[in-house]
Amino acid sequence: MIDLDASLYIEYDNGTKEPLALIETAVDVGQDIKPATVTKRLAARAGLPAFTVLYTLAATRLEADPSWYDISGFRVKQLVPHESKAWQSFSPQAWREFLYGLRQECCRPLDEAFRARPMNGKVATVVGDCYACGRRIPIDALKAGLCEDCRQEGRRR
């Protein structure tokens, strides 16, 4: 049996609901070890990255919901696909950035497949990135690799 009450989180993409990672959490009391064998095996089977995340509660309460304390920092170990030897410290902002990066990394192939999917039997729109602004638009609207806005503003690749 595995204790799932608020100890195992599944980080997922809000739009597609695709799971991104399994995260085993605990309050940081200075421990060196946080067993997470089941989470690790589950993640390996699912082909998802997994992490153990220890969090330190701040002295202040959350502005959005004062019934909860804020978090002042995290210690993180990756379990899958590579097991970290040491804990790595993250500020809440840095950990948020890390998760955001993970979402982009994990979901890029899914995002691309989603955008390119056939709709109602119609052929999917082929898209490309504008070389100047990076905006993703239908490939027909790109001229010399540039979107219309960038062409009008005289931007170059």
Residues near Zn ion, by CB under 5 A:
130, 132-133, 147, 150
Q: Which is nearer to Zn ion, 94 or 132 (CB)?
A: 132
Please report how close the Cβ of residue 132 comes to Zn ion at its closest, in angstroms: 4
Please report how close the Cβ of residue 126 comes to Zn ion at its closest, in angstroms: 17
Q: Note if the bond before 81 is cis, omega within 30 degrees.
A: yes
Q: Which residues of 106-137 are buried (b: 16+ CB within 10 A; e: fewer)?
A: bbeeebeeeeeeeeeeeeeeebeebebeeeeb
Please report how close the Cβ of residue 139 comes to Zn ion at its closest, in angstroms: 13
CA triplet 62, 68, 73: central angle to 5 degrees?
Answer: 70
Q: CA 20, CA 79: separation in Å to the nearest integer? A: 14
Please report how close the Cβ of residue 125 comes to Zn ion at its closest, in angstroms: 17
SS3 state at 104: helix
Q: Which is nearer to Zn ion, 133 or 139 (CB)?
A: 133
Q: Which is nearer to Zn ion, 105 or 149 (CB)?
A: 149
Q: Which is nearer to Zn ion, 92 or 145 (CB)?
A: 145
